Chain A
Amino acid sequence: NAGVTQTPKFRILKIGQSMTLQCTQDMNHNYMYWYRQDPGMGLKLIYYSVGAGITDKGEVPNGYNVSRSTTEDFPLRLELAAPSQTSVYFCASRRGASGRGTDTQYFGPGTRLTVL
């Protein structure tokens, strides 16, 4: 049971390039999330999904896109990378069944992205 895995661990992009951050969970969780964490700051929610085929915007969705074609995978797409997207990106998941308020959210190890 690997939990939540993210690839790559590190990436440097040039301004205007695109990339996809991969996230996979093997816990059969319904809910998945993408957060960004800027240096010395807390977490900001980018997008989340409550199940395959269903996604919704969080607090800071501009410049990003997501898809959820399977329960396991929740990739985050950056189009036209900008320096403001330099951050550490965390994927997370939780079961999200009835009584979901008591669920623990499990985090991946993060992807450190630098846009130059």
Chain B
Amino acid sequence: GNSVTQMEGPVTLSEEAFLTINCTYTATGYPSLFWYVQYPGEGLQLLLKATKADDKGSNKGFEATYRKETTSFHLEKGSVQVSDSAVYFCALALNTGNQFYFGTGTSLTVIP
């Protein structure tokens, strides 16, 4: 089947620390991969995506590389800010299906 596994949270970092949130996937076809972010009290919004192997998605200092050989799409940021405090969701979608498959989310808190 299709599924996404994210690292368990919550994650607490100091400002300017390096962030990695792990995401691995299982898919029956060739998926596109997404990272969504949910700020407190809001809906999910797209952070970045990659649609084929070896693509790198990037936005707002966040990056993730689509690694087919390790079925991974880890989210990284070199220097986090307090404003990055949010819940981050990894997701996949297939051309052959109708649904998105979301991970369980990883809560990030950045302290000054």
* Chain A, residue nearest B91 (CB): A105
Answer whether residue A52 sits at the interface, using C-beta atoms and an 8 A cutoff. no
Please report the total number of A residues contacting B with Cβ < 8 Å.
26
Let me know if B32 and A102 touch, CB within 8 A: yes
Tell me which of A14-22, A42-50, A64-72 binds B: A42-50
From 28 to 71 in chain B, residues with beta carbon under 8 angstroms from any chain A beta carbon are: 29-32, 34, 36, 42-46, 49, 51
Answer whether residue B22 sits at the interface, using C-beta atoms and an 8 A cutoff. no
Please report the total number of B residues contacting A with Cβ < 8 Å.
27
B104 surroundings in chain A (CB, below 8 A): 41-42
Decide: A102 near B44, CB < 8 A? Known: A42-B102, A48-B99, A58-B99.
Answer: no
Let me know if A109 and B43 touch, CB within 8 A: yes
Q: What's the nearest-Cβ distance from chain A to residue B91, in Å?
A: 8
A90 surroundings in chain B (CB, below 8 A): 43-44
Let me know if A42 and B43 touch, CB within 8 A: no
A74 surroundings in chain B (CB, below 8 A): none
The 8 A CB mask of B1-45 against A (1 = contact, 0 = none) is 000000000000000000000000000011110101000001111
Answer whether residue A53 sits at the interface, using C-beta atoms and an 8 A cutoff. no
Let me know if A104 and B34 touch, CB within 8 A: yes
Let me know if B94 and A101 touch, CB within 8 A: yes
Let me know if A107 and B43 touch, CB within 8 A: yes
| 7 closest residue pairs by CB, A with B | A101-B95, A107-B43, A42-B104, A102-B51, A107-B44, A102-B32, A101-B93
Let me know if B103 and A104 touch, CB within 8 A: no
